[in-house]
Amino acid sequence: MLGLALAGAGFVVWVAWRIRRLPPGGRAGRALGALGCLAGLGLLAWWQPLLIERTHLVLYGVLGVLAWRVAGHWKGGAARLVWAGAFCALVGLADEVAQYFHPQRVCDLRDVITNALSAWLAIAALGLLCPAGGRENT
C-alpha cells in the first residue's frame, strides 16, 4: 500500500514539475488536461475493489510511459499517442486472456479496462506536458 501511495505521489509531483516548466501561453489548458488525467487515475483506483488490483494503475502507467518513449522513435504527435496506447491495451488484454487459461486466476473485463485506461491516461499526461515538438523522449 505504501509503495502504491508513493508511486501516485511521485506521479503527482512529476506532473506539477512539468506544468511549471511549460511556457506560460499554453500552461493553463495543458495543466487542466493533465489534472484531468490525474483525476481519471484516481477514479480508476476508486473503481477497483481490491487493493492488489490498484497496482495495475502503476504497472500499466509505467508501461504507457515506456511505450510512449519507444513510439517516439517512429511516430510523433497523435500517432505516437495512439500507437503507444494501442500497444498497452493489447498487452493488458493478453494478460487477462492468459489468466482465463490459468486455473487459479480469473479473466476480468474490469481489469482489461483498467489496464488500458491507466496506460492511456499516463500517455495523455505525457503528451500534454511535453514540449510541442512531439518527438522528445521525456
Name the DSSP letter for residue 74. Answer: T
Task: Tell me what pLDDT residue 132 has.
Answer: 57
Asked, for residue 12, whether it belongs to a domain, the answer is yes
Q: Which of 49, 62, 60 is nearest to 95 (CA)?
A: 60
Q: How far apart are CA 115 and CA 98, in angstroms?
A: 14
Q: pLDDT by residue (tens digit) across 56-73? A: 888 898 999 999 999 988
Q: Which of 12, 39, 44, 18 is nearest to 128 (CA)?
A: 18
Q: Which of 35, 37, 61, 46 is nearest to 115 (CA)?
A: 61
Asked, for residue 136, whether it belongs to a domain, the answer is no
Residue 135 confidence (pLDDT) above 50: no
Task: Tell me what pLDDT residue 131 has.
Answer: 64
Task: Tell me what pLDDT residue 120 has.
Answer: 95
Q: How far apart are CA 123 and CA 18, in angstroms?
A: 14
Asked, for residue 48, whether it belongs to a domain, the answer is yes
| Domains held by the chain: number | 1
Q: pLDDT by residue (tens digit) across 101-125? A: 998 888 888 889 999 999 999 999 8
Instruction: Report yes or no on whether pTM surpasses 0.85.
Output: no
Asked, for residue 24, whether it belongs to a domain, the answer is yes
Asked, for residue 135, whether it belongs to a domain, the answer is no
Tell me which residue range forms the domain holding 37: 2-129
Please report, as a single letter, which amino acid is at residue 110: R
Asked, for residue 88, whether it belongs to a domain, the answer is yes
Task: Tell me what pLDDT residue 1 has.
Answer: 66
Asked, for residue 138, whether it belongs to a domain, the answer is no
Q: pLDDT by residue (tens digit) across 76-93? A: 888 899 999 999 999 999
Q: pLDDT by residue (tens digit) across 9-45? A: 888 888 888 888 888 888 888 888 988 988 898 888 8
Q: Are 77 and 46 in contact (CB under 8 A)?
A: no
Where helices occur in 48-108 by DSSP H, the ranges are 51-71, 77-100
Q: How far apart are CA 96 and CA 115, in angstroms?
A: 10
Asked, for residue 54, whether it belongs to a domain, the answer is yes
